[in-house]
Structure 1
Amino acid sequence: MSEKTKKPQKLKARLPRGFVDREAADIRAVNEMTAKIREVYERYGFDPVETPLFEYTDALGKFLPDADRPNEGVFSLMDDDEQWMSLRYDLTAPLARHVAENFNEIQLPYRTYRAGYVFRNEKPGPGRFRQFMQFDADSVGAPGVQSDAEMCMMMADTMEALGIKRGDYVIRVNNRKVLDGVMEAIGVGGEENFNRRLTVLRAIDKLDKFGTEGVSLLLGEGRKDESGDFTKGAGLNADQIEKVLFFVGITDYAQSAVHLAELVAGTEKGAEGVDELNTIRSLVLGAGYGPDRIKIDPSVVRGLEYYTGPVYEAELTFDVTNEKGEKVVFGSVGGGGRYDGLVSRFMGQPVPATGFSIGVSRLMTALKNLGKLGADEVLAPVLVTVMDGDVESMGRYQRFTQALRNEGIRAEMYQGNWKKFGNQLKYADRRGSPIAIIQGGDERAQGVVQIKDLIEGKRLSGEITDNAEWREARVAQDVVPEAELVAKVREILEAQAEDRRRAKQVNV
């Protein structure tokens, strides 16, 4: 075959690695969830703001351009005036740029929320995507820790608004300054010990996974895992390890606060951090949020090189089964803290800020585990079938469809090959349509329509085995005047809804 007669190569449809297509059920679940979150944020006096997907790369803060291209971690391109732009890595850095750029116009404290996609140019893996959604709330220009305490209370209220009952979640709170004080108190403060402190932080972060004994090894010489691989430790001595383990092992803050204050006494920031934790604890207790909802927990070490004060994490405490079939605690669904340095990068002056970010996909997974999403199931549309294809008949079918829509009922007129009526009912079945509307020539002459209850029909069809009995029963089918179409459809839909409610009550 010559080059000219060769068939053109078909383009292969392929989804980029690390990205997902979202179907109707997931989209509706996210919308349902974010609406409940938004309602809580609005109640606290936060307003929405939206920033673009792209920012100039240097504005992102964590990732600055190399001589010829930005660092790995962000998706970047150069625009026509040879400036590097990147897809946003999170929602906080764009907010910092927005505040700095509009600083003279906005009202401080600037209390905002926003939901949107963020992008990570990282190797994708199971449950690790390059595009995912976050839902953030931030307060910029509020220096006191009462704004941090309020953020924690708002997160607790959000968990409960989503149907997560008390005891299944906890908002855990720590303070960067306290940990800095502990590091200074054991002799690993200062710039010269930066890498060593990171090793200590990583060790503390493994507390849930390896327990006190494993963390103790990582704080000391190192730890060998089951495969024989060795992880080098922070090289702390026994006295240093004991002090770190005391700090992260605090479970009853009220009893340990005095000892903690003694540990960090004389350090530059430690005592200030303890005072801030005490203030947060007093504020949340005064507002009725006990340690079953908001808990001071020194083992929280999330992003401590980024935050400048209080840090907090929303953790779900119920068990789920992982890929290996093991029961594990679900864990974190969001976190945040005080980041007083981020807006200041643009301003040359201190601008206090605190915020919280929810991982939407992860939280949605948790809510599905709890059966808290999809309660308001979206009903498939009523199908108006097509028996005749002439213009007058099609106009009549369209009129039926619009009459249903005008009364708030989901409806669609069949758009495929109408000549094979069986295909229309198969389509209705695959769509999950609750009702089919049928009008042929005989019905049109009489000014009536057939209304077929497809849900009841499916149920009855399992009880009828004889064809003659089927024809005689006219399974779940009514004939009504055209003028009564909408009222009859609504009556059937309400009966179906009542059946679903009863079925749910039986299952519960």
Structure 2
Amino acid sequence: MAKQEKTFRPKARVPKGLRDVPAPLVRAEANMLARIREVYERYGFDPLETSAFEYADALGKFLPDEDRPNEGVFSFQDDDEQWLSLRYDLTAPLARYVAENYDGLPKPFRRYQSGPVWRNEKPGPGRFRQFTQFDADTVGAPVVAADAEMCMMGADVMEALGIPRGQYRIRVNNRKVLDGLLEEIGVGSDANDRTHMTVLRSIDKFDKLGRKGVELLLGAGRKDESGDFTKGAGLAADQIARVLDYVGSGLEAGSADRKSVLEGWRAVVGKSAIGAEGIAELLEMDALFTSAGYGPDRIEFNSWIVRGLGYYTGPVFEAELLLETKDENGNPVRFGSVGSGGRYDGLIERFKGIKVPATGFSVGVSRLQAALQMLPSDAGVAVPDVVVVLTLDAGNMAGYQAMVTELRQAGIRAEMYLGGSGMRAQMKYADKRGAPVAVIEGEDERAEGMVTLKDLILGSEVSREISDNTEWRESQAAQVTVPRAELVAAVKAILVRHGLHRA
């Protein structure tokens, strides 16, 4: 007897570092994006969409994970044997777009864009290989007023999302100040130098790893919790001490006025011309913040803000949530950075051969959304409720369809049950969908020209207070029968009672 071949069945699993997003989170994200878009539009930015794929050489090599395959980028060869890569952010594609359409664009060119980006990095808690960003950029503006505008807009975005003032901070630094520090301690100023970038990326991890972790990265290197080893910058002990003294000054930044912070940084940059230039730019930004009413409780200068991407050339900034909360297991959670940006005057030059100043701000949508879900405020997003019309008689599908259509035309989100189960299963379905109302029309109701509406929200509340079946059967508070012609008005009344619809 021939041996029967085993049927291959692929394992149902999402790829490592990726995730599926269920309906409530999709809606929450859409709501959040709408609020951010409103702020960007108010500042005069216009929308743009760029391709998810770019030629690999157009993206450049700016990611901090240089020890990862493809240097952090997902790539493949097309039929022409040219390398294509999934975009790792929205800024590099913008640079390509501006270079390609340079002569026809207004200068400055102001655009916003939201969309997924991909990074071939080691995944971890809250860190995915695909995530959504929402950027706004100004290209062709050499003045630091453009950078200051990005910081103020970032603060406005936080508050538009319902994050209370005092629970977030826009933290600002300048790559030129950091270059001045490295110049003073004898580290090369070339941004493409490995030691230079390793020092900057080590500082950038201060809020996550603390002083000791950064000290290890500035020296020989550090082994993380998984056992992976990251090679350090290899600085000498006195160099490490000077870097840590500077970074440590950021611990008190939130309680000091911005001018005082900059006075402390003057000693750090010493006689470095590039460092002095960075401080002068921050002084100008401070004047703009002050004139617009953005105090240090909203925007501060902070020494450990670096940004890990290699293309930043001037002011850099991060939007950080300061509040702490707890996860479902009761463990403390601090959200940290949920947005970032900075000046990148050399990125478009790669294509054009001329300096094209640019600056931008990017919201990390996925991370910020996770934070908003845990905030006890208006920042959370209510899920729109759907009224479910039960289909108890297969011969009356047209009648049920008419009900659903009437509800939808009245602005009520509604669906007709399309499964093949009986009433009990249909009611369970309505509960699972979070429906506030179930519409029931059986043969008896239809013969009398009536429909029954079950208020599932009130029913849930009543059920918690009722102790036996008799009391439940006698309770009619959660159920009402109305004439078929009054279906829409009666459903609206229930929704209005629960604050789910406007009267």
Match of 2:415 among 412, 415, 427: 412
Distance 1:10 1:461 in 2: 44
Distance 1:88 1:103 in 2: 21
Deviations 1:63-116 (A, max 9, x none): 79xxxxx93422222222221111111111111111111111111111111111
Deviations 1:302-356 (A, max 9, x none): 2374211111111112224479976464311121110011111111111000011
Match of 2:280 among 264, 275, 281: 275
Letter in 1 for 2:418: Q
Q: Does 1:489 align with 2:491?
A: yes
Q: Does 1:358 align with 2:360?
A: no
Superposed, 1:113-152 pairs within 5 Å as: 113-152=112-151
Letter in 2 for 1:24: A
Superposed, 1:302-381 pairs within 5 Å as: 302-303=307-308, 305-321=310-326, 327=332, 329-372=334-377, 375-381=380-386
Distance 1:210 1:422 in 2: 54
Residue 245 of structure 1 is matched in structure 2 by: 245
Residue 332 of structure 1 aligns to a residue in which SS? strand
Q: Is the 8 A contact 1:74 1:87 kept in 2?
A: yes
Distance 2:32 2:386 in 1: 23
Give the alignment's TM-score, normalised by structure 2. 0.87
Identity of aligned residues (%): 56
Distance 1:192 1:300 in 2: 16
Structure 2 CA distance for partners of 1:486 and 1:312, relative to 1, 3 Å: same
Q: Does 1:257 align with 2:262?
A: yes
Superposed, 1:38-117 pairs within 5 Å as: 38-62=37-61, 71-117=70-116
> Which deviates more from structure 2 when the two are superposed, residues 339-348 or residues 7-16?
7-16
Distance 1:230 1:414 in 2: 55
Residue 70 of structure 2 aligns to a residue in which SS? coil
Structure 2 CA distance for partners of 1:98 and 1:294, relative to 1, 3 Å: same
Match of 2:449 among 443, 447, 450: 447
Residue 154 of structure 1 is matched in structure 2 by: 153
Distance 1:405 1:344 in 2: 53
Shift of the alpha carbon at 1:372? 4.2
Deviations 1:193-237 (A, max 9, x none): 94443453345345445655776676678899999x998674446
Structure 2 CA distance for partners of 1:36 and 1:258, relative to 1, 3 Å: same
Letter in 1 for 2:30: N
Residue 429 of structure 2 is matched in structure 1 by: 427
Residue 16 of structure 2 is matched in structure 1 by: 17
Residue 33 of structure 2 aligns to a residue in which SS? helix
Residue 503 of structure 1 is matched in structure 2 by: none
Distance 1:256 1:467 in 2: 69
Structure 2 CA distance for partners of 1:188 and 1:432, relative to 1, 3 Å: closer
Letter in 2 for 1:452: K
> Which deviates more from structure 2 when the two are superposed, residues 261-270 or residues 427-436?
261-270
Residue 405 of structure 2 is matched in structure 1 by: 402
Structure 2 CA distance for partners of 1:215 and 1:324, relative to 1, 3 Å: farther
Distance 1:363 1:105 in 2: 35
Structure 2 CA distance for partners of 1:72 and 1:303, relative to 1, 3 Å: closer
Q: Give the gaps of 5 or more residues in structure 2.
A: 64-68
Residue 104 of structure 1 aligns to a residue in which SS? helix
Q: Give the gaps of 5 or more residues in structure 1.
A: 65-69, 500-508
Letter in 2 for 1:369: M
Q: Is the 8 A contact 1:334 1:359 kept in 2?
A: yes
Letter in 2 for 1:400: M
Q: Is the 8 A contact 1:113 1:136 kept in 2?
A: yes
Structure 2 CA distance for partners of 1:221 and 1:406, relative to 1, 3 Å: closer
Shift of the alpha carbon at 1:430? 2.4
Residue 172 of structure 1 aligns to a residue in which SS? strand
Shift of the alpha carbon at 1:436? 2.1
Structure 2 CA distance for partners of 1:257 and 1:121, relative to 1, 3 Å: closer
Q: Is the 8 A contact 1:186 1:240 kept in 2?
A: no
Give the alignment's TM-score, normalised by structure 1. 0.86
Shift of the alpha carbon at 1:359? 1.2
Distance 1:136 1:215 in 2: 29
Residue 123 of structure 1 aligns to a residue in which SS? coil
Distance 2:219 2:469 in 1: 80
Deviations 1:367-400 (A, max 9, x none): 122134775523432222223222xx22122111
Structure 2 CA distance for partners of 1:315 and 1:459, relative to 1, 3 Å: closer
Structure 2 CA distance for partners of 1:496 and 1:317, relative to 1, 3 Å: closer
Distance 2:498 2:313 in 1: 56
> Which deviates more from structure 2 when the two are superposed, residues 125-134 or residues 232-241?
232-241
Q: Is the 8 A contact 1:32 1:373 kept in 2?
A: no
Bigger radius of gyration, 1 or 2?
A: 1
> Which deviates more from structure 2 when the two are superposed, residues 142-151 or residues 245-254?
245-254
Q: Is the 8 A contact 1:248 1:297 kept in 2?
A: no
Shift of the alpha carbon at 1:165? 1.2
Residue 298 of structure 2 is matched in structure 1 by: 293
Distance 2:119 2:243 in 1: 37
Distance 1:116 1:423 in 2: 39
Query: How many residues get paired?
Result: 489
Shift of the alpha carbon at 1:172? 1.1
